């Protein structure tokens, strides 16, 4: 009886008997993948000096990983649904380990960027299969709690990257950041082979290779235009050409997905307001969190003068807040009490407020207190918003598309990461260049400081950089707040539509049976909304 259950997509109404141990294994695999999204932030000074990396090089070292993942996540999810989630999880661990080895031994910026892109391929397979396995091995009564733990690890991975990177850099050279992934990948391979059950759809869709190519090229070109704008000018042919290419290719991706029988991303999902609201929120949570960490680690090291480990420790309160709130179940209880839209609105508002607090209270060289407050508020926002949105996305997609659903969730997060680094980094560079025109030709802040003529000029450059950071944080806060309110509005409207549909069906059945109480289901609109979050939208 147990053997066939391990091969079916829906393992059991009671969940897999080793589900919590399996959750621990896949969360470990997920953690190392997500750490690598932000672990390089504290290594920026080392990379600029040892590899002669420019600001654009560093951004590509970060974005190459995120963008390749974002472009391949949907295809990885579709492949997992068709060929087996356990199998794809093991392939992803192997590719991630090999890519980490190459990255740790890289001797130039180009080699490191290429290795990071290779790691992104393995990371795409890992991220889609972990969430898909969670959905398959847990029944509806435990799934929200399991996704909450999964989201906690996701948040911890992003937020703890600078701390982990700082610890490693304080004892080893920068390449050790990647080499430490290798034993984790090996342990993960053994554990997955022994514990994780295989699950797949008997007649899954073929992977959409052209769709993956189009989405990767389109997103890469768009972010390249954003990164290159401050350096080459927003009106330059290089920037305009790549921006046009990105928009055109992404438009082609949408048209392709609409006209093929087995699309990587079914565009009809976007007719579901719950799906659209969760999509908007997921992108902007990642946008605000990752973009902010990218800026903060530079502020702590370049302006306040902290070392890598000290900088990592000072960003840790965000991760600790996320872990504390999620593991104590605060977010899950708030969702049950107030509903998903209200919790997402509250979480995104906290995230925006934290960004404002960091910009207003933590800027300049006045100290760390204001930044600490902002980090804690941001952590509270992430802890509330991220699990609720992940569950909303997965519940809006049919269960047999669990891999694709996980791919959508991961793609949005990765795209938000790359967009946050690119957009907020571009705002920083533009503001910095406007305040210190003499530093426009410098490839990075250290280069500008090295070229400064005397202590006064160095202080002027530091002040300009701090002002650029403040502007970037405020821009991120506005984007996060607006997106959060929009996401909550769409989710609330979707719940009302589903509740009204359920009431109409119940009323029809009641009238057919000769019962007058057709309006009774409308009295519990919040319950209907919460049930929709757990089970997916009504037809």
**Most confident segment among 172-176, 225-229, 280-284, 344-348:** 344-348
pLDDT tens-digit readout, 262-316: 777 778 777 777 777 777 777 877 787 777 777 777 777 777 777 777 777 787 7
**Mean pLDDT of all residues in the chain?**
75
pLDDT > 90 in the chain, percent: 2
pLDDT tens-digit readout, 179-223: 888 888 888 888 888 877 777 665 555 667 788 788 878 877 877
The pLDDT, as a whole number, for residue 245 is 92
Task: For residue 170, give every residue at least 6 positions away whose Cβ sits within 8 Å of its Cβ, in sequence order, or none.
Answer: 307, 308, 309
Q: Is the model's pLDDT at 238 over the cut of 90?
A: no
Return the higher-pLDDT residue of 495 and 507.
Answer: 495
pLDDT tens-digit readout, 121-178: 888 888 788 777 777 777 766 776 777 777 777 767 766 676 777 777 778 888 888 8
Return the higher-pLDDT residue of 444 and 466.
Answer: 466
Q: Say how far apart CA 51 and CA 47 lie, in whole Å.
A: 5
Q: What is the mean pLDDT of residues 475-480?
A: 84
The pLDDT, as a whole number, for residue 249 is 92
pTM (2 d.p.): 0.68
Q: Which band of pLDDT confidence, cut at 50, 70 and 90, is reported for residue 535?
A: very low
Return the higher-pLDDT residue of 29 and 207.
Answer: 29
Q: Which band of pLDDT confidence, cut at 50, 70 and 90, is reported for residue 43?
A: confident
DSSP 272: -
Q: Say how far apart CA 47 and CA 41 lie, in whole Å.
A: 10
The pLDDT, as a whole number, for residue 533 is 42
150-169 burial, b for 16+ CB within 10 Å, e for fewer?
bbbbbbbbbbbbbbbbbbbb
Q: Which band of pLDDT confidence, cut at 50, 70 and 90, is reported for residue 474?
A: confident
Q: Say how far apart CA 212 and CA 206 lie, in whole Å.
A: 12
Q: For 398, left (φ over 0), alpha (ψ -120 to 50), or beta?
A: beta
- The answer to whether the beta carbons of residues 387 and 327 sit under 8 Å apart is no
Q: Which band of pLDDT confidence, cut at 50, 70 and 90, is reported for residue 366?
A: low
Q: Say how far apart CA 411 and CA 79 lie, in whole Å.
A: 15
For residue 521, the surrounding DSSP H or E stretch is none
DSSP 235: T
Q: Say how far apart CA 243 and CA 219 lie, in whole Å.
A: 10
pLDDT tens-digit readout, 54-79: 767 777 787 788 778 777 777 787 77
Angle at 327 between CA 484 and CA 533, to 5 degrees: 45
Q: Is the model's pLDDT at 347 over the cut of 50?
A: yes
Of residues 251, 196, 237, 227, the one with CA closest to residue 80: 196
The pLDDT, as a whole number, for residue 475 is 84
The pLDDT, as a whole number, for residue 438 is 56
The pLDDT, as a whole number, for residue 241 is 92
Q: Is the model's pLDDT at 89 over the cut of 90?
A: no
Q: Say how far apart CA 211 and CA 205 lie, in whole Å.
A: 13
What is 62-79 written as a DSSP string? HHHHHHHHHHHHHHHHHH
Q: Is the model's pLDDT at 1 over the cut of 60?
A: no
Q: Say how far apart CA 156 and CA 318 lie, in whole Å.
A: 9
Q: Say how far apart CA 347 and CA 378 lie, in whole Å.
A: 8
Compute the CA torsion angle 151, 148, 167, 185 (nearest 10 deg): -70
**Most confident segment among 97-111, 201-215, 388-402:** 97-111
pLDDT > 70 in the chain, percent: 79
Count of H helices and E strands in the chain? 20, 0
- Three-state secondary structure readout of 3-66: HHHCCCCCCCCCCCCCHHHHHHHHHHHHHHHHHHHHHHHHHHHHHHHHCCCCHHHHHHHHHHHH
Pick from 184-193, 339-348, 451-460: least confident: 451-460
């Amino acid at each position: 009886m147990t053997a066939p259950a391990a091969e079916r997509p829906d393992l059991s109404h009671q969940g897999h008997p080793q589900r919590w141990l399996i959750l621990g294994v896949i969360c470990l695999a997920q953690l190392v993948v997500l750490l690598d999204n932000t672990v390089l932030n504290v290594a920026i000074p080392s990379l600029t000096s040892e590899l002669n990396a420019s600001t654009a090089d560093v951004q590509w070292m970060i974005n190459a990983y995120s963008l390749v993942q974002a472009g391949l996540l949907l295809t990885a999810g579709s492949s997992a649904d068709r060929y087996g989630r356990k199998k794809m999880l093991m392939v992803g661990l192997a590719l991630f380990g090999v890519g980490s080895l190459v990255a740790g031994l890289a001797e130039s910026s180009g080699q490191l960027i290429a290795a990071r892109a290779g790691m992104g391929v393995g990371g795409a397979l890992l991220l889609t299969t972990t969430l898909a396995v969670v959905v398959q091995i847990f029944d509806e009564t435990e799934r929200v709690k399991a996704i909450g733990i999964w989201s906690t690890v996701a948040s911890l991975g992003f937020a703890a990257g600078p701390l982990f990177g700082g610890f490693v850099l304080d004892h080893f050279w920068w390449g050790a950041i990647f080499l430490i992934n290798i034993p984790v990948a090996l342990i993960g391979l053994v554990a997955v082979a022994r514990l994780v059950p295989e699950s797949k759809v008997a007649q899954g869709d073929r992977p959409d290779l052209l769709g993956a190519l189009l989405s990767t090229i389109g997103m890469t070109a768009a972010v390249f235009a954003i990164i290159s704008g401050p350096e080459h000018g927003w009106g330059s042919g290089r920037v305009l050409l790549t921006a046009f290419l990105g928009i055109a290719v992404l438009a082609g991706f949408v048209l392709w997905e609409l006209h093929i029988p087995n699309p990587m991303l079914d565009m009809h999902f976007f007719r579901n307001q719950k799906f659209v609201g969760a999509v908007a929120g997921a992108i902007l949570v990642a946008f605000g969190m990752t973009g902010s960490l990218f800026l903060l680690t530079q502020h702590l090291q370049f302006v306040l003068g902290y070392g890598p480990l000290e900088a990592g420790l000072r960003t840790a309160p965000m991760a600790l807040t996320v872990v504390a709130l999620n593991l104590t179940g605060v977010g899950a209880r708030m969702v049950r009490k107030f509903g998903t839209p209200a919790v997402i609105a509250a979480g995104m508002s906290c995230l925006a407020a934290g960004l404002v607090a960091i910009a207003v209270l933590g800027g300049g060289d006045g100290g760390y207190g204001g930044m600490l407050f902002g980090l804690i508020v941001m952590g509270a926002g992430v802890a509330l918003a991220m699990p609720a949105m992940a569950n909303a996305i997965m519940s809006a997609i049919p269960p047999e598309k669990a891999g694709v659903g996980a791919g959508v969730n991961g793609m949005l997060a990765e795209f938000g990461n790359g967009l946050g680094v690119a957009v907020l980094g571009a705002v920083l560079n533009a503001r910095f260049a406007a305040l210190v025109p003499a530093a426009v030709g410098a490839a990075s802040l250290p280069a500008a400081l090295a070229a400064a003529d005397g202590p006064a000029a160095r202080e002027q450059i530091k002040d300009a950089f701090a002002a650029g950071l403040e502007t970037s944080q405020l821009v991120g806060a506005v984007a996060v707040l607006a997106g959060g309110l929009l996401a909550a509005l769409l989710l609330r409207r979707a719940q009302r539509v589903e509740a009204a549909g359920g009431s109409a069906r119940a009323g029809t059945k009641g009238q057919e049976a000769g019962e007058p109480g057709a309006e009774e289901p409308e009295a519990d609109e919040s319950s209907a909304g919460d049930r929709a979050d757990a089970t997916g939208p009504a037809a």
